[in-house]
Amino acid sequence: MAKKNPVERPAASSKFEEMMTGTTVFNVPLPADLKTLKGMSPIVIKQPYNIDYIHSYGQDSPFFAGLSNKKLLGTKCRKCDYTWATPRLACTQCGGETDWVELPQTGRVHTFTTCYFGGEEFLKETPFHLVLVEFDGVDTLFLSRLLGPEQPEDIKIGMKVKAKFRRNSQLKPTDVYFVPAE
């Protein structure tokens, strides 16, 4: 019979994580015989690349102003009434112009996932749940985070969810998130 650990504890790692840190080197050896150079190992260096963009939300800016005032804004087509949960100022169904409308703050989970890994920027936030939310009377879906359930098995397609807003707006789509409504 296998021995059970008295307490739950993480196992020691069997390999070092790959790191992006290292040693600063100012010279490398060069063999005297040029004929051997094609067999030389490659030189691999670290090359940083950081930029701050001056990014405008342009015509979609009212959506973010809405979030910071605890309102969820979508758009509705003047010509065909198609209603977009993620706003766009031109209706791609008919080409018509749309107007801003307020969306309901309760909806249902159309689909979901739980991310255990992610892009580097979000790795520290894992695991987290992503959901596409559907709203009554709205033709398209809305991508958001779902907070509350611990495991993916606790999330059901069709379950009712409601919007919550960050108190201090970051002017990002994560200013709104959803939690189970019941």
| Segment lying near another protein (by CB under 8 A), choices 5-13, 26-34, 94-102, 122-130 | 122-130
Lay out the site mask for another protein across 4-33 (x = CB under 8 A, - = otherwise): --------------x-x-------------
Residue from the set 70, 114, 149, 164 that interacts with another protein by CB under 8 A = 114
Q: Nearest-CA neighbor of 46 among 24, 17, 27?
A: 24
Nearer to another protein, 69 or 174 (CB): 174
Which residue of 80, 89, 101, 115 would you call a contact of another protein, by CB under 8 A? 115
Q: Are 106 and 115 in contact (CB under 8 A)?
A: no
Binding site for another protein (CB under 8 A): 18, 20, 41-42, 44, 47, 49, 57, 60, 84-86, 88, 92-93, 110-123, 125, 128, 130-132, 139-145, 152, 157, 172-174
